[in-house]
Chains A and B, each alone.
Chain A
Amino acid sequence: MNAVHGRYLHIDLSSGTARAYPLSEDVFARLIGGTGLASYLLYRFCPPGADPLGPENPLVFASSPFIGTGITTASKIAVAAKSPQTGMIGDSLSSSYLALALKRTSYDALVITGQAPGWTVLAVDDGEIRLLPGSDLLGLDPAATAGAVRAELGSGFRVAAIGVAGERGVRYASISNDGRLAGRTGTGAVMGSKRLKALAVRGTQRLPAVADPRGVVRAARELAARSLGPGTAKYRELGTAANLAFFSRLGVLPTRNFQAGTFEAAEAISGERLFLEHRTDKHGCAACTIGCEHHYRTRDAGEAVEVRLEYESLFALGSLCGVSDPNAVLRAAALCDRYGMDAISTGSTIAWAMECVERGVRLPGRPEEWPRFGDAEGLLRTIEAIGERRGLGDLLAEGSRRAAEITGQGSEAWAMHVKGLELPGYDPRKLKAMALGFAVSTRGACHNRSSAYEVDFSDQLDPQAEALAWARAAASSEDRAAVLDSLTVCKFLRHCFSDFFAEAADLFERVTGLPMSADELRLAGERINTVKKLFNIRQGWTRGDDTLPSRLLSGEAGGLTAAELDRLIQAYYRVRGWDEQGQVPPERLRDLGLADLLADGRMMREYA
């Protein structure tokens, strides 16, 4: 096959050794690459019951056949590890030149296991590895770390780095590269647990040829042209921050820790207002023609801060915490980037603490330092405390689920997570498809692994449609997301296809030379989601993990009830061909072509 190298590099930080292994064509034909490849390698390397912050948890970086082909937005690297937040699959995508550098090393993926004896920078230089001392980088933010590493190793290296949060094991620490983040599920904490401050990659090898160079160039040009059409207009013009005011108007804007769906001060932090009063300019990720990354600057008396801001950071650090000062929200987002922490989990865990204070629950630290809803200073102070794991911040660094378990006093009732991952900015009480998507997602509450909100925000389904129709819509949205993540094509490109599966299959065929139909590609999406599910099952997933926080299931104001959610989940399991307990029957694995690929679950390390 074309466009891949057919091998990956396993690096053991404990021994400081590396070894190459083959990757069969079958893996790409069935799981595509990107997230599919990363999930597969994670499944093969991570033993059941592995401590997410222990040496045996593999940290996987995977590329895809599309990287380096000129297809717009397709320069994303897939990152996977067992998540220290959920204990299940933690997978993220990050746009960056690192993806291109990795592909030029002549490997399709890196699997990093073990733990370095001291803080380390791992340099992968065309397949040669070097472990360099990293302790002098401790305390630096990710951007400064990347700058220091490149200054030492040369600008040809591309760097993924963690900030102080990753060093100190904040469970939702992120990995940063080129200013973009592998943000959710705490892969930065996994990297920190390996004492890996930075990964630097330089690739100078030729990119593997595509099967149909002219066809790929033609298709890439067409897609680039379409990427500038109406399908991406909102992202280009205003960015995702435009969601906020509209969501509040619809009553689906999570506010004060999901105690309300409308924020009375939404206008003050709306995307429209930010655009008029704070926006400075717009950037794009590596190899992207769309450019949705809007930057904003504070306009208050304090030291000016400029930061990239998306809707998810805006809601989590704004309405969710009841904060209506746009300057404070921008400062909070910049702090999250500086410490290297996922803004959704940061904001949501702080919102949990704010509700604790509101309800008179005792927290560690001095009461005058506890954050309160609407308290902008308290928000900023608490983010710093989390990043440094200081005082109350040490508790909140555990994430809302663990913080609530430790605190008790009934506070579990307002820890707003699914499987340990805090909810993004969609109040699922009024969004039925998204509610189901959150509940069953292998990653925990996530709007990126399931974009089922698209069904809610459209006229595709009658609100009274039967459970099976919602389940089909949710499953198909997951499968499309899995294909996009595995092709490493940006989700913001999805509306630029008139028939996504048919056009993407055609492109895959032109790139790889492997025959692929629309139906086969759709099946590949289901297969990838099944690998993730199998990983979770092996790590201890049970039926009870597929649920939503009880606050969201009261049925108040026409919202969802627990019984309704249960019906939706059962319908979803039926659509997937799983049993009533959500287990995957062996015949389903055979039908999906996974039984042989995953063998009997033996660990890859046994072959080493």
Chain B
Amino acid sequence: MDYVTPTTAMEASKALAQDGAFALAGGTDLLVKLKTKFVSPSVIVDIKQVPKIMSIENSTDGWWIGAAVPCAEISEHESLRQDWPGLVESLSLIGSTQIQGRATLGGNLCNASPAADSVPALIAAYGTCIISGQSGDREEPIENIVTSPGVTVLEKGEFILGFKLPKPESGTGDAYLRLIPRSEMDIAIVGAGTSVSVDKDKKITSIRVALGAIAPTQIILDGLEDLFIGKEPNENSINKLISIAESACRPIKDKRGTVEYRTKIAGVLAKRTLTIAYKRAINH
């Protein structure tokens, strides 16, 4: 097994184009899979020396978060937290303090687990990612990246350079909640990320709810615009949100939760994240 540390995006792409190559960011997923012999890479491509991959930038265009910035560093970014508190909360749930010292958003997305915590929050925040490859860069919405558990749209030689988030207009709030049986060090049974924007009259102008762990990939709830746009949330619309969330679920029954349980919790977390995000929006 080889280990390489490319210093340009092109070198990294070339290295990753080899058979059996794996990108290494924080390694909190990859090293576990190596140890348990789940994967046996021919070459490990440590992408952390590629320019821009380790930086966080705030410009008029919005936010840039490098794909290999450790979650702990993102959490400490005060103005990012002010703009997208829900996203920052989602990644501060990953593992533990030690794990967050290494874990990255790029790794969380590309590991392609339906339960990845930051992904619903990134989707709810209308995030996109920049994919680097041998023929240059392209931009894709986050929700287009994972196609099924463990599988992404990335082609041979491609990797994620970083994430773009819009600068939130005033009156925007987001929230992320997950349910785990323990209080930490666990995998989400359901994760929910929600963002809303409101006008001066506290009426909703945009809404997005993304759910994790209830289907093979993260999903964005449909049909919320008609329910919420131009209105304040009320008991009726929230109850409808709960049923939309429940009926969007296509969970598997496994050791972490029954189908019935995941379905029920999807509704509860959709409701709870909307409540938090809405409160944040009217105070933003």
- Do these two chains really belong together in a complex? no
